[in-house]
């Protein structure tokens, strides 16, 4: 039996959507893209990869905050 991780499937969908040529999009198409990205974020957040990305972003924001003082 073949199993597919939903997060991996969403990553593939996001990559395929980013590769499309830039053209005027409908509101429904924009909302679909936003929904996919949000669901992907929710699926990745509790994983080890999600925690490492969060740590990296946190360090980046702290570095920017220190530099601006």
Tens-place pLDDT, residues 3-48 = 667 777 888 888 888 777 767 678 888 888 888 888 888 777 787 8
The answer to whether residue 1 sits within a structural domain is no
Query: What pLDDT, on a 0 to 100 scale, did the predictor assign at position 22?
Result: 67
The answer to whether residue 28 sits within a structural domain is yes
The answer to whether residue 11 sits within a structural domain is yes
User: How many structural domains are present in the chain?
Assistant: 1
Alpha-carbon torsion (65, 67, 68, 69), positive or negative: positive
The answer to whether residue 63 sits within a structural domain is yes
Q: Is residue 43 helix, strand or coil?
A: helix
The answer to whether residue 26 sits within a structural domain is yes
Range of the domain at 34: 6-67
Find the helix or strand (DSSP H, E) in which 59 lies. Answer: helix 48-67
Q: Which of 6, 16, 3, 12 lies closest to 46 in space, CA to CA?
A: 6
Distance separating alpha carbons of residues 33 and 16, to the nearest angstrom? 11
């Amino acid at each position: 039996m073949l199993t597919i991780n939903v997060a991996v499937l969403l990553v593939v969908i996001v990559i395929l959507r980013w590769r499309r040529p830039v053209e005027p999009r409908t509101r429904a198409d924009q909302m679909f893209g936003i929904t996919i990205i949000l669901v992907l974020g929710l699926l990745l957040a509790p994983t080890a990869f999600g925690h490492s990305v969060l740590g990296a972003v946190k360090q980046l924001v702290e570095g920017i905050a220190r530099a601006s003082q």
